[in-house]
A and B are shown apart, each in its own frame.
Chain A
Amino acid sequence: MPPLARRLTRRLALTLFVLWGAATFAFAGMRLVPGDPARVIAGGVQANATPQVLDAIRAEYGLREPIVVQYALFLGRLLRADLGGSYQLGRPVSQVIGEQIGATLALAAGAAALGFGLAVALATLTAGRPRLRALSRAAEFCSISTPNFWIGILLLAAFSFHLGWFPVIGDDGPAELVLPCAALALPIAGVLAQVTREGLERALDQPFALTARARGATEHRIRVRHALRHAALPVLTLSGWVLGELLAGTVVVETVFARQGLGHVVVAAVRGRDFPVVTGVVVLSALTFSLINIVVDLLYGLADPRIGAAA
């Protein structure tokens, strides 16, 4: 087998293992909740479900089987991409996720673009320039330390309530995306800018930068055309982290801006202990996370051909 295919196979096998692990955690979590699962499904103790209703639920969800059989059934359903039905919403989980994923993807993609763009611009402008760098570093440290929901609330206060430029709530149209994306992107951009600048400064010290300078290339051209590509590798390494921050950030930011989306759904599910929904979102994000990491692994070879040759 060629090395690339072998590496891909190994990564895919690992992904399957990770998915199995995530599903098992979720299943174990579901069974660790104190109390009768049937009663939880029926809406908790307050709902006062009759024994007949509880029996019907036990039959429907296979709760009378031994736990091993339940686990096997659960994994079998997952393999067929059947995530079960939401306790709270009374609808299939896959349908709920399908409806909500668009809004979350738009938010995450917008924030990623904004974060990466901002970081590259900041780093290119400030690398190797002590005064600007000091200023930018201070700003980056502040933005890293600021919780994204506070940024969101401040943006809301300033631009929605005070200036009235953006609507206070809602999620139709690109205008509503501006503030949530900014809130999500700023802390990410802080970290990315630091890493990009470090990479840029290392690249600018390399002999090839001197050669380019000697050939009369402008400073701007050296940075953008030559050095930036070398800074891409450490930034690429952080992509997995960025994705994690985005997934986690959407949960909070969607709450701040009262937006629709998966984050909104998962918070409601955690509050109501709606485990099929929590399981669905956890497994889905583990899958996304693993796949993105595989893509990043492949991109290394593109960004730095030496790695592809060595592997």
Chain B
Amino acid sequence: MSAVQDAAAGGPYEPAWAGLRKVGLPRPGVALAVAFFALVCLAAAFPGLFAHAPDRVDPALALRGPMKGHPLGTDQLGRDVLARLVFGARPSLLVGVGSTLLAGVAGAAWGLFSALGGRVAGEAAMRLADVLLSFPAVLMALLVVAVLGPGTRNAALAITVALAPGFARVVRAQALVVRGSPYVRAAVGLGLAPARILLRHIAPNVVAPLLILATVNVGTALIAGASLSFLGLGPRPPAPEWGAMLAQSRDYLDVSWTLALFPGAAITLTVLSATVAGRALQARYEGREVR
């Protein structure tokens, strides 16, 4: 996070997209990661393309390993694990990616307000972020779920609340740097409306570090979301969700260990691809090569 700030501090005059334009041909690992993440997103958008009937119960075929017709085996009710994984992509991504996006937007508004709003209000907004950041994100999320109750939407909101102050801090730091730069002072001197300066001259410079932080954070949010549903605080049971599938598989470990293998692998590979892509983006933006 501080690396993003440092890089941002070094080049406040570059337009926001200059860092992103530098991205040339990705390395094979990064390309693979991006391709896999795109595939997961596709499955989340159109699960019907890959599998059918995630809820079809077949007690005669319960708890089997991989076999013909069920390439990843079946769960305790004889439902096809592959189909449930594919249909589970949507709720899993909704919580992980959705909460990151929401937190990015909320954090950007929060950070800009704190940097550019009045002195007292801005300071108060940052102290609020300090308090929120002073206890662990998952505990914060648990507190929010305790208030709102469990469920997919509430889990996503909980993670949003936990992530937003971090975004606010980065945006504030970047906005403060930009605010002091000569061209913004020139714009102020020209008598442009504050709203115009904010939207046209300051906000675009905050976008690149924000996007990168968001990509790096998707992995964290995905794991936090999976943790909440593993604890039974996310999507309700019949809905296929990776964390919830893992929670159920815990009870059948002695019979079928492959039941625990695939949902966990789905989470890990998705998080891994998001992390690799995010780190590569960050490294490019900071102008250093990935070793």
Contact = CB atoms under 8 A, between A and B. Distances in A.
Contacts of B253: 153, 156-157, 161
A145 B257 contact: no
Given A29-B143, A142-B268, A271-B232, A150 B291 contact: no
A137 to B, nearest CB: 7
Given A251-B138, A252-B231, A255-B230, A33 B264 contact: no
Interface in A2-34: 14, 17-18, 21-22, 25-26, 29-30, 32-33
Given A247-B139, A271-B233, A278-B142, A252 B131 contact: no
Interface residues of B, number: 45
B224 to A, nearest CB: 8
Nearest to A158: B257
Interface size class of A (residues with CB under 8 A): 35 or more
Interface of B: 127-128, 130-132, 134-139, 142-147, 149-150, 219, 223, 226-227, 230-233, 243, 246, 249-250, 253-254, 257, 260-261, 264, 267-269, 271-272, 275-276, 291
Looking at chain A's contact residues, the main secondary structure is helix
A147 B134 contact: no
Contacts of A256: 250
B254 A161 contact: yes
Contact of A248 (B137, B144, B145): B137
B227 A252 contact: yes
Given A150-B264, A153-B246, A281-B139, A286 B134 contact: yes
Contacts of B276: 141
Interface stretch (A99-107, A111-119, A214-222, A262-270): A262-270
B35 to A, nearest CB: 16
Given A29-B147, A32-B147, A290 B260 contact: no
Contact of A275 (B144, B146, B257, B260): B146
Contact of A270 (B137, B146, B223): B146
Interface in A231-249: 243-245, 247-248
